Chains A and B, each alone.
Chain A
Amino acid sequence: MSSRKLLTDFFILMALTTNVSFVVNPNGLELFITVVTNLAATLLKVGEGRVLSAELMATGLVADLHLIPALYFFYTGDPAESVSLAWGALAANVVSVMLVVIDTVLKSSVEEE
């Protein structure tokens, strides 16, 4: 078990769960934690030797580019816009989690060979 992979996967999942939580019940603190976990996951993905590294990095960046403006809009008086941006980030985070699963399966099959 790779500790780095554990940490990255943890942040990817955490970003998804807090994102869902914010979308269901918009709350500034949850949005802030979503941004923090999402950015941490993106930074940990830099240079990772995964099979789907590029795809994971791309989805991470998409989510970041939705969540950072969402944070800005939330605290500047436009929570509706913030929620809609968070929905976009949620889509990217779902894809991210799916990619993590596919990557793990692919990696284990490559190792078996």
Chain B
Amino acid sequence: MRRRKARRRPRLRERYERRFFEILRELSLPLVILHFTLAAGTLGYMWLSGGDFVNSFYMTVITIGTIGFGEVVEGADTTAGRIFTTFLALGGIGVFTSTITVIARVLFKEELQNLWRRLSMMNAIEKLEGHYILAGFDEVTAELARLLERRGVPFVVLDDSQRGLARIAEQHVPYYLPEPPLEQETLQAAGIRRAAGMVVNLGDDARNISIIAVARLLRPGKEEFTIYSFASSPENAERLEELGANRAFYPGRMVAGRLAAYLFHPESDYLVALFDRLAFGEETDVDLMEVAVEEGSPWAGRAVAELRRELGANVVALRRPDGRLELDLTDEHRVKPGSRLLLFGRTSRLEKLRERLEAEHELS
């Protein structure tokens, strides 16, 4: 018995390319008609002139292109030649002008230009690595996109709603796909296999759950691919975390927490604002960073004062292996393996340190 193969659904790029060539196909018939008109004209003048191809072709072009320099080919000034030129001009000029009109209409078609833009964007997305995918583009995600852009973190936006697309255009988002975010092929086209994580904000929990499920099919590991989701209630946030999100946020609670920090520390609002900006990536000169000191690390067993000098950043606190936070660090305090250092310093220095750590990690 013959086995039936399931037909593969064409990928997004293939669909775009197919549509692109479908539009270009509209050019083919007018061009074929123009081509045959040119061929007929050239052949006619060749017959009249006894085989002068170059001049016959030139005569045809100047006739149907309404240039009309005169009778440049032998035999064109005879009665037969003039009758032929008359009919060629009557038919050819119409063919020529309508072909030019069709070419202009097709090439300036908005859909064709959009497809071309999307295909170029997909080429650029294919080169991205370690980027973030923002599924859904409302006011909050738009703000997040601004912060990511300011930090130079690459991201791809997925949204096919009218409002989302209008916002994308307004904000000049560099990479986006105007396709349904819930579909597997959209996530694949956004480079989910190479992405660092995803932010899910599709407006309702059911849609958020669906996209998390699809994303986890493609990237099951929570460590390698982080998913942050929005939730409509604290209870649903817990459910989303159980279903695959690394963390789910109830926006109301986040805003309330930010406001409460100001209310609870009215006397130190500069400090609260500084930490607030740091935490939300708005401070660009200084930053915070957490570094793990693993067993066998060159930093294990070293004094805090030495690490401060070597790292070029302040070790402001330390989290012990048992999870307790140690704030009163003396210069002589020795760092135990399994601890985590909380560093505070210039963003440029911390960036260099991050690169160094990544290089060391790759070497090990």
Please tell me if A88 contacts chain B, counting CB pairs below 8 Å. Answer: no
Separation of A108 and B25 alpha carbons in the complex (Å) = 23
Q: Are A32 and B18 in contact (CB under 8 A)?
A: no
Q: Are B53 and A36 in contact (CB under 8 A)?
A: no
Q: Are B53 and A40 in contact (CB under 8 A)?
A: no
The segment out of B29-37, B237-245, B317-325 that lies at the interface is B29-37
Please tell me if A65 contacts chain B, counting CB pairs below 8 Å. Answer: no
Interface centre among B22, B23, B28, B51 (most CB of A within 10 A): B28
Q: Which residues of A contact B116 (CB under 8 A)?
A: none
Q: Among residues 5 to 43 in chain B, which have CB atoms less than 8 Å away from a CB atom of chain A?
A: 5, 7, 18, 21-28, 31-32, 35-36, 39, 42-43
Q: Are B32 and A48 in contact (CB under 8 A)?
A: no
> How many A residues touch B, CB cutoff 8 Å?
20
Separation of A45 and B28 alpha carbons in the complex (Å) = 8
Minimum CB–CB distance for B309 against chain A, Å: 61
Minimum CB–CB distance for A72 against chain B, Å: 8
Q: Among residues 44 to 84 in chain A, which have CB atoms less than 8 Å away from a CB atom of chain B?
A: 44-49, 53, 71, 74-76
Q: Are A39 and B53 in contact (CB under 8 A)?
A: no
Please tell me if B304 contacts chain A, counting CB pairs below 8 Å. Answer: no
- The one of B18, B35, B51, B54 in contact with A36, judged by C-beta atoms closer than 8 angstroms, is B35
Q: Are B35 and A71 in contact (CB under 8 A)?
A: no
Q: Which residues of B contact A71 (CB under 8 A)?
A: 53
Q: Which residues of A contact B35 (CB under 8 A)?
A: 36, 39-40, 43
Q: Are A40 and B22 in contact (CB under 8 A)?
A: no
Interface centre among A46, A49, A110 (most CB of B within 10 A): A46
Q: Which residues of B contact A44 (CB under 8 A)?
A: 28, 32
Q: Which residues of B contact A46 (CB under 8 A)?
A: 21, 24-25, 27-28, 31
User: B328-357, CB under 8 A of A: which get 1 and which 0?
Assistant: 000000000000000000000000000000
Q: Which residues of A contact B36 (CB under 8 A)?
A: 36, 40
A32-B43, A36-B36 known; A75 and B53 CB under 8 Å? Answer: yes
Minimum CB–CB distance for A65 against chain B, Å: 16
Q: Which residues of B contact A75 (CB under 8 A)?
A: 52-54
Count of A-B contacts with CB under 8 A?
50
A47-B22, A75-B54 known; A36 and B27 CB under 8 Å? Answer: no
Q: Are A32 and B28 in contact (CB under 8 A)?
A: no
Separation of A36 and B27 alpha carbons in the complex (Å) = 17
Interface centre among B36, B43, B53 (most CB of A within 10 A): B53
Separation of A28 and B42 alpha carbons in the complex (Å) = 12
Which residue on B lies nearest to A37, using beta carbons? B39
Q: Which residues of B contact A29 (CB under 8 A)?
A: 46, 51
Q: Which residues of B contact A32 (CB under 8 A)?
A: 39, 42-43, 46, 53
Q: Which residues of B contact A53 (CB under 8 A)?
A: 21
Interface centre among B27, B39, B42 (most CB of A within 10 A): B39
Q: Are A43 and B28 in contact (CB under 8 A)?
A: yes
Which residue on A lies nearest to B5, using beta carbons? A113
Separation of A36 and B51 alpha carbons in the complex (Å) = 16
A32-B46, A40-B32, A71-B53 known; A47 and B21 CB under 8 Å? Answer: yes
Minimum CB–CB distance for A110 against chain B, Å: 8
Please tell me if B361 contacts chain A, counting CB pairs below 8 Å. Answer: no
Separation of A43 and B54 alpha carbons in the complex (Å) = 22
Separation of A18 and B51 alpha carbons in the complex (Å) = 18
A28-B53, A47-B24 known; A36 and B7 CB under 8 Å? Answer: no
A32-B53, A36-B35, A49-B18 known; A113 and B7 CB under 8 Å? Answer: yes
- Chosen A-B contacts, 30 in total, with CB atoms closer than 8 Å, are A28-B51, A28-B53, A29-B46, A29-B51, A32-B39, A32-B42, A32-B46, A36-B36, A36-B39, A39-B35, A40-B32, A43-B28, A43-B35, A44-B28, A45-B28, A46-B21, A46-B24, A46-B25, A46-B27, A46-B28, A46-B31, A47-B24, A47-B26, A48-B25, A49-B22, A53-B21, A75-B54, A76-B54, A110-B7, A113-B5
Interface residues of A (CB under 8 A from B): 28-29, 32, 36, 39-40, 43-49, 53, 71, 74-76, 110, 113
Given contacts A32-B39, A47-B22, 13 further A-B contacts (CB under 8 A): A32-B43, A40-B35, A40-B36, A43-B35, A46-B27, A47-B24, A47-B25, A47-B26, A49-B22, A71-B53, A74-B53, A75-B54, A76-B54
